[in-house]
Structure 1
Amino acid sequence: MLHAPIIGDSHQQLDMPSLLEMLARSSSRPRYAFMVLNLIAQVSRSDGSAGPLVAKGGGLIPLRDWLCDALTPMGQRDPRRVTLEERIRSDLAMSGALPMDEGQATAMVEDAIREQVRASGKTNVSRAVSELVRAGLLKRHYQGYCVDHHNRGAQRQAVYILAGCARGLIGGRQEQPRAVPRQAELVF
């Protein structure tokens, strides 16, 4: 599978080693960029777009949060995570917010770690996506509460679209039914 050709919408054929070489040239962290690209391809629809929301555990979460959560296991053995856990536990204990029950304390510490990891993970994902956009493998826009909009903020969420030869990463998957109605579409 590593040498399977990838055919994009620009009729350019690119095999996996060539894609990895392209990422190595255009990204400061090519392995991370490849993981982000692969995850986006996994949740993309047949038109190559992913987001603004992804179904997870019976609910919907923003695409960037889903990407951060999906990439979190990669840092579980990182010594910085252990240091972060110790710092959060000691900060909560000094402030008196840490419960006496060990199970509740562990849950509180894990929630605080998840929040901090997700915040820094969003920065890492955005940086990787920017590199993928510069490489011509992704397009990005922001979709908002009322209308599509190119600016961020005001309840607008990122939408990533596989571009060029990266469209070949979609494969022959079937279109998943839409979980969220389009704007001005009523659900009965």
Structure 2
Amino acid sequence: MLHAPIIGDGRPQLDMPCLLEMLARSSSRPRYAFMVLNLIAQVSRSDGSAGPLVAKDGGLIPLRDWLCDALTPMGQRDPRRVALEERIRSDLAMSGALPANVDQATAIIDDAIREQVRASGKTNVSRAVSELVRAGLLKRHYQGYCVDHHNRGAQRQAVYILSGCARGLIGGRQEQPRAVPRQTELAF
């Protein structure tokens, strides 16, 4: 096969057809795995690492939650999603938890759906990430409460690091330098 590699400035070469072929061989859902890999590359820093937290709407959320939220629109028309919405609506109505105000009721239903979709989405993301790790495109470790740790749990969050040819997905975007807080001098 003759493929023209996409060459970045000093970064590893990315041969997109080979990357897609690798995903097709190693993943049970290669399109979903590619979307996850692409989203991880979108929020990764210049060293290829993403997580444990991602900035969203002026706040910080865990990387896995951000990935789930970013992939949520893909299932909007899925019949299972529509059935989930109807089931949640009827469960809340039967329990008397829905307020009379339509806007408040819609907000409560949307929050309940988001939580359900996020819970199942984390499983899907974890499965796709495990396949990407096996393919050699990602490395994964957990960071959190006290120190970096290789095991899950105890308030630790996932950190994903692009490896191999997946590092070429970072592209030419420039990371914005962080403002380092400095102690100011008193003017006399």
TM-score normalised by length of structure 2: 0.89
Instruction: Answer with 16-25 or 1-10: which moved more.
Output: 1-10
CA deviation after TM superposition for structure 1 residue 176, in Å: 3.3
Instruction: Please say if residues 143 and 158 of structure 1, whose CA atoms lie closer than 8 Å, have aligned partners that are also in contact.
Output: yes
* Structure 1 gaps, min length 5: none
Instruction: Please say if residues 12 and 168 of structure 2, whose CA atoms lie closer than 8 Å, have aligned partners that are also in contact.
Output: no
Instruction: Please say if residues 54 and 63 of structure 2, whose CA atoms lie closer than 8 Å, have aligned partners that are also in contact.
Output: yes
CA–CA separation in structure 2 for the residues paired with 1:186 and 1:140: 46
CA–CA separation in structure 1 for the residues paired with 2:139 and 2:171: 18
- Shift in alpha-carbon separation, 1:65–1:113, aligned structure 2, 3 A: same
CA deviation after TM superposition for structure 1 residue 118, in Å: 0.4
CA deviation after TM superposition for structure 1 residue 181, in Å: 11
Show the counterpart of 1:104: 104
CA–CA separation in structure 1 for the residues paired with 2:110 and 2:52: 26
List per-residue Cα deviations over 1:66-110 (Å, max 9, x = no partner): 000000000111111110000000000111111111111111100
Instruction: Answer with 160-169 or 170-179: which moved more.
Output: 170-179
Map of 1:127-146 to 2, 5 A cutoff? 127-146=127-146
SS in 2 for 1:5: coil
Aligned residues: 188
SS in 1 for 2:161: strand
CA deviation after TM superposition for structure 1 residue 171, in Å: 1.0
Instruction: Please say if residues 8 and 165 of structure 1, whose CA atoms lie closer than 8 Å, have aligned partners that are also in contact.
Output: no
SS in 1 for 2:14: strand
Larger radius of gyration: 2
- Shift in alpha-carbon separation, 1:70–1:134, aligned structure 2, 3 A: same
Instruction: Please say if residues 6 and 14 of structure 1, whose CA atoms lie closer than 8 Å, have aligned partners that are also in contact.
Output: yes
Instruction: Please say if residues 14 and 169 of structure 2, whose CA atoms lie closer than 8 Å, have aligned partners that are also in contact.
Output: no
CA deviation after TM superposition for structure 1 residue 13, in Å: 4.5
* Structure 2 gaps, min length 5: none
Show the counterpart of 2:46: 46
CA deviation after TM superposition for structure 1 residue 155, in Å: 1.2
C-alpha root-mean-square deviation of aligned residues, in Å? 4.5
CA–CA separation in structure 2 for the residues paired with 1:158 and 1:187: 45
